[in-house]
Amino acid sequence: MKKFPLLAIVLFLFTSSFAQTQTEKEVKDLLVHKWKLTHMEQGGQKIEVPAEFGDSFLDFKADGTITEIDSEGQEKGKWSYDHKTKTITSEVKEEKIKYDVLKITATELVMKATVEGMTMSLYMKRV
């Protein structure tokens, strides 16, 4: 008797996760907005954005351009999305960064990137 409820739960979880698969167009449509960095995570530890950094934003445009905005100003570049690997590649000021998209919804974007040898997750909210 106990096997049936467990099996039912496993099947429900599998179908729920399968139903949440997003198409390439859906992901790109969700990306094309302005996103504000709310916090970071490294090695399982939450890291708040230091106050001296000010507000940081990524503004993805539908034409493949991106604007990075922080306390020092703004820089423009290009971005692309690879749905097979679920990665965003940005190139700003000849610096190329690959972001692994961990989660994207209408209000939240979570990406993982390695910058200057440090791997961290970036948590962003849509503005």
Domain ranges of the chain: 22-126
Neighbours of 97 (CB within 10 A): 16
CATH numeric code, 22-126: 2.40.128.280
pLDDT higher than 60, residue 44: yes
pTM above 0.85, yes or no: no
- How sure is the predictor about 20, in pLDDT bands with cuts at 50, 70 and 90? low
| Residue 21, both tokens | 């698969």
Tens of pLDDT, residue by residue over 75-123, are 999 999 999 999 999 999 989 999 999 999 999 999 999 878 889 999 9
